[in-house]
Structure 1
């Protein structure tokens, strides 16, 4: 079931963040950084747990260190993805294939104009 808000620990309390404001999440084994349009928050939670929690909201892993919301992906290839409001982030070949297997793609010939 998709979430509308995410509560993250901040200083001595919890911060309520709208999921739609998240541009991407960068992470590691213990800590992750939740990036919003105008700020970022460090959270003590590994990226894989955040990815599992937000999968129903259309967040996809594109790299060992990044998850992004599908609606923010402008373009993607086997090396990089352009994220609206962020710019380019790296894409691993493994996660590129997984992402393409889960989303609908339409293939066009190289000469097509759209």
Structure 2
């Protein structure tokens, strides 16, 4: 449904670094960069814009799709190493549906970042 989303940041560099490390297992990289922020995405297309703002960022819940459960596990490890705080380790969440495998981490600016795989276990 979304083409891209933009989030405010008090420190674009800090949040960009966090998301690049946390989402590297999904193939996310810098797609565009300018004086006011950075666009992250896959295959050169920015899908997540991080832009500088003076006011505090409003925490969001951002969920990213993984093709494999191993990517969810790798996201969680990478995000914690990048300074994120645990908000739910990798595992099944059958209350959503039987194959909902996800992990949650709070970013340095308070965003609830989730990576989810909807595929049944291989």
Q: Which has the higher strand share?
A: 1
Q: Which has the larger radius of gyration?
A: 1
